[in-house]
A and B are shown apart, each in its own frame.
Chain A
Amino acid sequence: MPSLIDLRRRVRSIRNTQQITKAMKMVSAARLRRAQDRVINSRPYSRMFASILANVAAAVANDEVAAAHPLLAVREEKRIQLILVTADRGLAGAYNSNLIRAAEQFAADHASQQVEFELVGRKGRDYFGRRNTKISGELVGVSQTASLTEAQALVGKLMQRFTDTEIDSVYILYNEFKSVLTQRVTLKQILPLSVASGDGQAARDYIYEQPPAQLLGSLLPRYVLLQVLEAFLENTAAEHAARMTAMDAATSNASDVMNKLTLYINRVRQASITREIIEVVSGAAAQG
């Protein structure tokens, strides 16, 4: 049986841990709100962009020049690029390990092709950096900022490689922010682009200042960028949400353990008091 002093020490240590997890939870909650705002703020642009793109795509639907745009080129998938977006920090529950597992699954599914990893975020880099995976590049420290310029640099490189036919397709794997309690691992194909041209709803008859094919040419790279940026933003929001949930669970776990231990301590204390009384009483009885 552990001594009373040891037990008290344990309770104290658990209380310290609980204070830390509580603080982390609050920090994550604040960051989550900021990340969510950014996701929401970026939506009007994406929405308007999608409507313009659909219209332009519909206008050039029968245009061979436009269809031959290098970002639309569908080739046989021999070399696949996977962008894996993870967090830079841990302590976020199963957040990172779910992503990493999905990435491994993806690599296993495409074992006959060559899969190259583009690792965004420290956790993914640390994991795959130690293994025998082909890594084309890494980007660390994005999850804090998830800014446009960082996405731009990454996307620029990928599009270059794609048009140079170094890679045949690009996928991105990230956690989608469903709600504070759920994140969903999402795999999205980024290149070659598939443009849905105004499904059902008739395209507006625009006056085009520039020929539609040229407009499409300038819209497409931006579309790729937007998708990656969206993944970054969603991922950041999901990360903070996951950490908040994990830390909340940790805090209440600590409470549970502390309650149990306190109960046990009291029992031990009482048992020793009872024993002492018995000793005194039986000693007195023996004398009498």
Chain B
Amino acid sequence: MAGTILLEVATPERLMLKEAVIEVEVPGADGELGILPEHAPLLSELGAGLLRYTVQGQNPRCVCVSGGWVEVGPDSVRVLASTAELADAIDVKRAQDALQRANQRLVNPTGDVDIARALNSLKRAQARIEASKFLTGK
């Protein structure tokens, strides 16, 4: 089908989303990927962030994803995420707490702080907060 892409978002627990969309923005590990129909096949690692997608004639929606891979085919986008949350399922308070904790850990690392892990949770928390803003902003 020209004009739409089949977007599938799956986590190990379940298939989160399966929808025909006209545009997807995926947070790749090395930067955002904007995908329109008839995109060349592409494989990338997935970063933590917001996956925005637009269904024909509707406002864009978003899912908060982190960790995994994304496979782009000519008429499909498959996202394999370690975690995925719909924007309205996000606990903003928890995300803000996590953000603060991660920040603290990065600003004054005490002893055996795993920098990579802290950075990761920082990114995840930011993505969550952004997602909730996205939802309330609309």
Residue of A nearest to B31 (CB): A209
* Cβ proximity bits B18-31 to A, threshold 8 Å, 1 near / 0 not: 00000000001110
A42 to B33, CA, bound (A): 26
* Cβ proximity bits A120-164 to B, threshold 8 Å, 1 near / 0 not: 000000000000000000000000000010000000000000000
Q: How far is the CB of A34 from chain B (nearest CB, A)?
A: 13
Q: How far is the CB of B109 from chain A (nearest CB, A)?
A: 23
Binds A, one of B41-49, B54-62, B114-122, B130-138: B41-49
A207 to B45, CA, bound (A): 12
| Residue pair A207, B43 in contact (C-beta under 8 Å) | yes
Q: How far is the CB of B115 from chain A (nearest CB, A)?
A: 19
A52 contacts the other chain (CB 8 A): yes
| Residue pair B69, A52 in contact (C-beta under 8 Å) | yes
| Residue pair B30, A209 in contact (C-beta under 8 Å) | yes
| Residue pair B69, A45 in contact (C-beta under 8 Å) | no
Report A-chain residues with C-beta under 8 Å of the C-beta of B41.
Answer: 204-207
Binds A, one of B9-17, B87-95, B96-104: B9-17
| Residue pair A209, B13 in contact (C-beta under 8 Å) | no
Partner of A48, one of B29, B33, B78: B78
| Residue pair A44, B10 in contact (C-beta under 8 Å) | yes
| Residue pair B11, A209 in contact (C-beta under 8 Å) | no
Report A-chain residues with C-beta under 8 Å of the C-beta of B11.
Answer: 45
Interface residues on B, range: 20 to 34
Report A-chain residues with C-beta under 8 Å of the C-beta of B42.
Answer: 206-209
Residue of A nearest to B45 (CB): A210
Interface of A is mostly: helix
| Residue pair A48, B45 in contact (C-beta under 8 Å) | no
Interface of B is mostly: strand
Contacts A42-B12, A229-B12: A209 and B80 contacting too (C-beta < 8 A)? Answer: no
B8 contacts the other chain (CB 8 A): yes
Report B-chain residues with C-beta under 8 Å of the C-beta of A226.
Answer: 12
| Residue pair B80, A52 in contact (C-beta under 8 Å) | yes
A287 contacts the other chain (CB 8 A): no
A41 to B33, CA, bound (A): 27
Report B-chain residues with C-beta under 8 Å of the C-beta of A56.
Answer: 43
A218 contacts the other chain (CB 8 A): yes
Q: How far is the CB of A231 from chain B (nearest CB, A)?
A: 13
Partner of A55, one of B29, B43, B45: B43
A49 to B116, CA, bound (A): 25
Q: How far is the CB of A216 from chain B (nearest CB, A)?
A: 11
| Residue pair A208, B8 in contact (C-beta under 8 Å) | no
| Residue pair A215, B69 in contact (C-beta under 8 Å) | yes
Report B-chain residues with C-beta under 8 Å of the C-beta of A42.
Answer: 12-14
| Residue pair B8, A44 in contact (C-beta under 8 Å) | yes
Report B-chain residues with C-beta under 8 Å of the C-beta of A207.
Answer: 40-43
Report B-chain residues with C-beta under 8 Å of the C-beta of A218.
Answer: 45, 69
Partner of A215, one of B12, B33, B45: B45
Residue of B nearest to A230 (CB): B12
Report A-chain residues with C-beta under 8 Å of the C-beta of B69.
Answer: 49, 52, 215, 218-219
Partner of A41, one of B14, B73, B78, B80: B14
**16 residue pairs A–B, Cβ–Cβ below 8 Å:** A41-B13, A41-B15, A44-B8, A44-B10, A44-B15, A48-B8, A48-B78, A52-B43, A55-B43, A206-B43, A207-B40, A209-B33, A209-B43, A209-B45, A215-B69, A226-B12
Shortest 8 CB-CB contacts between residues of A and residues of B:
A209-B44, A41-B14, A45-B10, A44-B15, A207-B42, A206-B43, A44-B10, A206-B41
Besides A44-B10, A45-B10, A209-B33, 4 more A-B contacts (Cβ < 8 Å) are A52-B71, A52-B80, A207-B42, A208-B43
